[in-house]
Amino acid sequence: MTFTRRTLLAAAAALTMAPIAAMAQDTIKIGEINHYKRMAAFAEPYKLGIELALTEINDAGGVLGKPLEFIYRDDQGDPAEAVKIAEELMTRDGAVMLTGSILSHVGLALSSFAAEKDYLYLAAEPLADSLVWSSGNPNTFRLRASTWIQAAMLAEEAAKTDAIRYATIAPNYAYGQDAVAAFKANLKKLKPEVEFVAEQWPALFKIDAGAEVQAIERAKPDAIYNVTFGTDLAKLVREGGDRGLFDDRKVYGLLSGEPEYLEPLGDEAPEGWFVTGYPWYGFDEGTPEQAFVDAYMAATGESPKIGSLVGYLNAKSIAAAIEKAGATDTASLIAAFEGLEIPDTPIGVLSYREIDNQSTMGAYVGTLALQDGKGVMVDWTYNSPDGYMPTDEEIKAMRPAE
């Protein structure tokens, strides 16, 4: 290769890259990492929620006068792959921050990486308490209500009954472990005489439902706390229903009322469980909640899932933070997220607490029932995190020194 040819090739490459560089300058890019194939039932509605918010944001002029753009990447639910993708998004693709993830162990890996490299990471869905408490760092914020908050809501209801002997079943990773610990701590505080007679820890998405049901039945609990979701939940419900595990027993289900996991159960959906979820079909006309449902269905032709709401709030949070920051460098974005308040969302005012970088998103709780051959939540309420969080002093003691 002659010098002249090298020069021509370099010039051609520069011309080819020029539109890409210009595009990068004309949009504000957000790196979105998720398990789009492995957990499509949640991730795809989540993405549609983001896209709805982006349409609204960009139709209104974007952020800082530029369109907001999400770059979607699939990590296959692998923490190492997620970290590799995160580095590429920030250094090669021009993202100004990172967001996403459903599984808590992936979210924890991205959080650690963000702190190490001084990037900002908004954990949209990971629920493990450790994400913002024992493993928290200044670079990580979280949108969804944590396992502690949702478990505390279920424990509050459980404490009203005469059940004393409890069995738990949860996937054996950060989310499941934190969810069981939170329920036990909250229920013991409200009702010290309760005892936990069985704890089942199936591997995530590898549940042997028959064996788990037998083990729980042998313990003869008065009530059951279930943290399984997705295909694990479906198998547990089917096997437990066939064997009468849930007959005459109270069951409390974390996430069990979320449409992503409830709708596939069809007429096998268990009745009487007290659960956290998303009753999109039960909102009153004229409310912000119903306005979101209407807009989402008009845009997608599909009914919303909890992931749809999370995705929508995620993009709205990021846009609000960038506008507040007036810049896109990490330090400015972190400062903007601390105490950020978004006044008009489908769930009312949404803010991010300075003490632990946790949002004030609450959770819907209610009872499962069958209507027209499918599971729905009835007698539901939306609870804010107020009254369910540890004290500020307890949270400060849990978080690492900064």
For residue 159, what are the CA distances in angstroms to 31, 144, 256?
A: 42, 24, 19
Instruction: Read off the pLDDT of each residue in 42-47 and give the average, rounded to a whole number.
Output: 96
Position 23 scores a pLDDT of: 41
Angle at alpha carbon of residue 232, lines to 255 and 280, rounded to 5°: 30
Position 19 scores a pLDDT of: 39
Distance CA 268, CA 265 (A): 5
CATH code of the domain made up of 148-283+363-392? 3.40.50.2300
Domain with CATH 3.40.50.2300 in the chain: 3-146+287-361, 148-283+363-392
Position 14 scores a pLDDT of: 43
Place of tokens 């139709």: 59
Distance CA 180, CA 164 (A): 16
Residue 110 contacts residue 123 (beta carbons within 8 Å): yes
Residue 401 — very low, low, confident or very high, per pLDDT cuts 50/70/90? confident
**Helix (H/G/I), strand (E/B), else coil: 401:** coil
Residue 249 — very low, low, confident or very high, per pLDDT cuts 50/70/90? very high
Instruction: Read off the pLDDT of each residue in 247-251 and give the average, rounded to a whole number.
Output: 97
Distance CA 325, CA 116 (A): 22
Of the CA atoms within 13 Å of residue 49, those in its CB half-sphere come to 26
Per-residue pLDDT at 156 exceeds 50: yes
Per-residue pLDDT at 216 exceeds 70: yes
Least confident window among 39-43, 65-69, 150-154: 39-43
- What would the two tokens of residue 378 be? 């009835």
Residue 255 — very low, low, confident or very high, per pLDDT cuts 50/70/90? very high
The 10s digit of each residue's pLDDT in 93-148 is 999 999 999 999 999 999 999 999 999 999 999 999 999 999 999 999 999 999 99
Among candidate residues 183, 185, 180, the one with its CA nearest the CA of residue 200: 180
CATH topology of domain 3-146+287-361: Rossmann fold (3.40.50)
Residue 143 contacts residue 125 (beta carbons within 8 Å): yes
Is 379 buried (19+), middle (13-18) or exposed (0-12) by CB count in 10 A? exposed
Residue 363 contacts residue 382 (beta carbons within 8 Å): yes
The helix (run of H) or strand (run of E) holding residue 296 is helix 288-300
Distance CA 100, CA 118 (A): 17
DSSP H helices in 159-206 = 174-190
Share of the chain above pLDDT 90, in %: 93
Angle between helices 209-219 and 230-242 (to 10 degrees): 60
Residue 25 — very low, low, confident or very high, per pLDDT cuts 50/70/90? low
The 10s digit of each residue's pLDDT in 307-342 is 999 999 999 999 999 999 999 999 999 999 999 999
> Which residues partner with 377 through β-bridges?
368
The 10s digit of each residue's pLDDT in 273-306 is 999 999 999 999 999 999 999 999 999 999 999 9
Position 302 scores a pLDDT of: 97
DSSP type of residue 266: G
Instruction: Read off the pLDDT of each residue in 346-365 and give the average, rounded to a whole number.
Output: 98
DSSP H helices in 71-139 = 79-91, 104-117
The helix (run of H) or strand (run of E) holding residue 378 is strand 374-383
Three-state SS annotation for 46-80: HHHHHHHHHHHHHHCCCECCECEEEEEEECCCCHH
Amino acid in position 166: Y
Per-residue pLDDT at 7 exceeds 50: no
For residue 36, what are the CA distances in angstroms to 39, 41, 165, 228, 371?
A: 6, 9, 39, 20, 30
Distance CA 113, CA 120 (A): 10
Residue 244 contacts residue 220 (beta carbons within 8 Å): no
Return mean pLDDT, the chain. 94
Place of tokens 């090739």: 9
Distance CA 54, CA 318 (A): 10
Position 85 scores a pLDDT of: 98
Place of tokens 């990068």: 24
Among candidate residues 28, 34, 6, the one with its CA nearest the CA of residue 307: 34
Least confident window among 6-10, 56-60, 189-193, 237-241: 6-10
